[in-house]
Homo-oligomer: A and B are copies of this chain.
Amino acid sequence: MNQDISQIKVGIVGGGQLGKMMVLEGKKMGIYFVVLDPNADCPAASIVDELIVGDFYDPLKIKKLAEKCDVITYEFEHINAEVLIDLQKSGHKIYPSPHTLMKIQDKAYQKQFLQSNDIPVANFEVIDSLDDLNRAVETFGVPLLLKSCRGGYDGKGNYLIKSHDEIEEAYKALGEGVWKLMVEEFVPFTKEISVVVGRGISGDLEVFPLCENLHENNILKMTIFPARVNDIVATKAKELAFKTMEVLEGVGVFCIEMFVTEEEDVLVNEIAPRTHNSGHYTIEGCSISQFGQHIRSILELPLGKVQLNRAGVMINILGEANYRGKAKLVGAKEALALPQVFLHYYGKITTSPYRKVGHVTILGDTIDEAFERAEIVKNTIKVIGEEVI
């Protein structure tokens, strides 16, 4: 890689909010960015040097991106890993490695891989038929989580079977076997936490403060930082995160979601081989953000030391339920009148129910102070659309 880092051209597969925030960090150091996204109006579009409009699975477009860049990364794991492997073979730098990506894309394979490396995960089983599913419900009982092994995010591709009556419905909802499925034992967790962690090419590791996630309708609703867990749990979680990064040989920033149980056990839930919604708090909350750290790792630079600036919460701004069409942001001025409120608005042209269109980070001297402010912000900032549905 060029020793003059300002001459390095970075290609990103995906120009959504994660890509956009990565570009904003890299531009501080004068980095050149080319982004591949199907949408010419994607959030990153207005700040990239070049935009290639194309599908994440289109081999020709991915190759075009590679030819223009010194290193490729991605903001989204559901992309064409096979093409990336070919490109890597022919000498292109890709971080995280497509071999790492392949281990993660299929959730059943991901869990098998973790298990074989003694990383604790919930019990699971691959489901090939309705009969398999029936048997699994007998074995594991309910509630039981049915998941498609590929392509899911924000709860899409997940079905929580709460009674035996729902088995067929769940099987139908997830494609009746068209896509590979798995079941996962329901973990009665007391907390869901995220460990955002960076690993450099020389194997150096830097973990961000653990954070705690609250979901609503399967979408991340709020992240609380730092997570309110004791030292035993925190140490277990960090050790698991480091071990996971090592066995995956991950280079870049990853998000490792974990469950904490009543017995203070920590299990790995899911891995995102990329920056993550639950790490957005790092922009204002930490000395270096997840995006800045990711840029450092893919440029083969030493990682930045992470320090927490202040506690707080991050809430997502989702499109209001009963609107679509051209997005309109309301209440921003009122929300920003509160102390330590930071608005991120992704610039998506249209809204739809529950679409992620922005987030707000709220700092406080204590988490409770931030909570109080968050409650007001949540009721103040709204994104509506031109069309009422």
Binding site for B on A (CB under 8 A): 3-7, 20-21, 24, 27-30, 32, 46-47, 49, 283-284, 287-288, 296, 300-302, 304-305, 307, 309-310, 328-330, 332-333, 336-337, 339-347, 358, 363
Contacts of A333 in B (CB 8 A): 3, 5, 300-302
Q: Which of B24, B288, B307 contacts A27 (CB under 8 A)?
A: B24
A/B interface sample: 6 pairs, CB < 8 A: A5-B329, A28-B283, A28-B345, A29-B345, A302-B333, A304-B339
The 5 closest A-B pairs by CB, nearest first: A30-B347, A30-B345, A302-B337, A305-B339, A47-B47
B5 and A332: CB pair below 8 A?
A: yes
CA distance A328 to B4 in the complex (A): 6
Please indicate which of the listed interface residues A6, A32, A328, A340 has the most CB atoms of chain B within 10 Å of its own CB. Answer: A6
The copy count of this chain in the complex is 2
CA distance A19 to B309 in the complex (A): 26
Binding site secondary structure of chain A: mixed
Contacts of A332 in B (CB 8 A): 4-6, 29, 301
Taking CB as reference atom, which chain B residue is nearest A309? B309
B49 and A46: CB pair below 8 A?
A: yes
A287 and B310: CB pair below 8 A?
A: yes
B287 and A6: CB pair below 8 A?
A: no
Task: Given A27-B24, A47-B47, A345-B30, verify A4-B330 contact (CB < 8 Å).
Answer: yes
Contacts of A342 in B (CB 8 A): 28, 288, 304
Contacts of A339 in B (CB 8 A): 304-305
B4 and A305: CB pair below 8 A?
A: no
Whole-angstrom distance between the Cβ of A360 and the nearest chain B Cβ: 11
A329 and B6: CB pair below 8 A?
A: yes
CA distance A304 to B344 in the complex (A): 14
Task: Given A284-B287, A337-B302, A363-B287, verify A344-B29 contact (CB < 8 Å).
Answer: yes
Contacts of A46 in B (CB 8 A): 27, 32, 47, 49
A347 and B284: CB pair below 8 A?
A: no
CA distance A188 to B340 in the complex (A): 40
A47 and B29: CB pair below 8 A?
A: no
